[in-house]
Structure 1
Amino acid sequence: MRYVASYLLAVLGGNEHPSVADIENILGAVGIDADGEKAKLVVSKLKGKTISELIAEGSKHLVSVSGGGGASAAPATGGSAPAAASAPAEEKKKKEEPKEESDDDMGFGLFD
């Protein structure tokens, strides 16, 4: 992912066709040792494509990826009574649990 991100940064910087050296320079600027083979693979796969084409192509694949949980099912008729009865029991459980505060900040304080 970092190789694709550096490729995109180079394009945003005005270089329409970044080279392997461009990707290595961008990654090196932030202290990451670049793997030349991975950079070469990214450059070869993206050669001749515009960013608009890549985004459009990638957007098609996002449809098949789940973005989160589905909607919860509505309770059946008469199903709300048991849920209402269990609510006070849950509240009691929450109240019975002692609240523990941890001063373990691993040696770092917010205002030190």
Structure 2
Amino acid sequence: MRYVAAYLLAALGGNETPESKDIKKILESVGIEADDACMTKVISELKGKNVNEVIASGYGKLASMPAGGAVAVASSAAAGSGGAAAPAAAAAAEEEEKKDESEASDDDMGFGLFD
């Protein structure tokens, strides 16, 4: 993942076709020793592809997964289009508030730990 992240950082920085030296420079800036085989693999897989299109196709694949990642992608996509994610977010916020209220009521029992 670190090689993909470094590739994406280089692409985000304006370099449409990052090379191994670019990825190596990014990794070494945070103290990671770069593996040439991994860098070569990432570069060969992403060569000639638009990074934004690769990310967009990845979102589509995540949405079809039955794991927790699909919920986050589906809710963010629905929220952006004004879909039904708002009630789910409101329910989660209400549950969070209920937890906060119960913790607050425990704090106000009339005595303190060091009284």
Tell me the TM-score normalised to structure 2 length.
0.56
Unaligned runs of 5+ in 2: 72-115
Partner secondary structure for residue 15 of structure 2:
coil
Aligned position for 1:56: 56
Query: CA-atom RMSD, angstroms?
Result: 1.7
Deviation at 1:60, TM superposition (A): 1.6
Q: Distance in 2 between matches of 1:66 and 1:47?
A: 30
Q: 1:51 is matched by which residue type in structure 2?
A: V
Correspondences of 1:78-97 after superposition (within 5 Å): none
Deviation at 1:65, TM superposition (A): 4.4
Q: Distance in 2 between matches of 1:30 and 1:56?
A: 28
Point out the structure with the larger helix share. 2
Aligned position for 1:45: 45
Q: In terms of Rg, which structure is larger?
A: 1
Q: Distance in 2 between matches of 1:6 and 1:46?
A: 12
Partner secondary structure for residue 68 of structure 2:
coil
Aligned position for 2:67: 66
Partner secondary structure for residue 16 of structure 1:
coil
Unaligned runs of 5+ in 1: 71-112
Deviation at 1:57, TM superposition (A): 1.4
Query: Between the two proteins, what is the percent identity of the paired residues?
Result: 54
Which runs of at least 4 in structure 1 moved beyond 3 Å after TM superposition? none
Q: Distance in 2 between matches of 1:65 and 1:19?
A: 35
Question: 1:42-70 deviations in whole A, cap 9, x for unaligned?
Answer: 000000111121111111210214117x9
Aligned position for 2:77: none
Q: Distance in 1 between matches of 2:66 and 2:5?
A: 21
Q: Distance in 2 between matches of 1:19 and 1:13?
A: 13
Q: Distance in 1 between matches of 2:52 and 2:5?
A: 15
Tell me the TM-score normalised to structure 1 length.
0.58
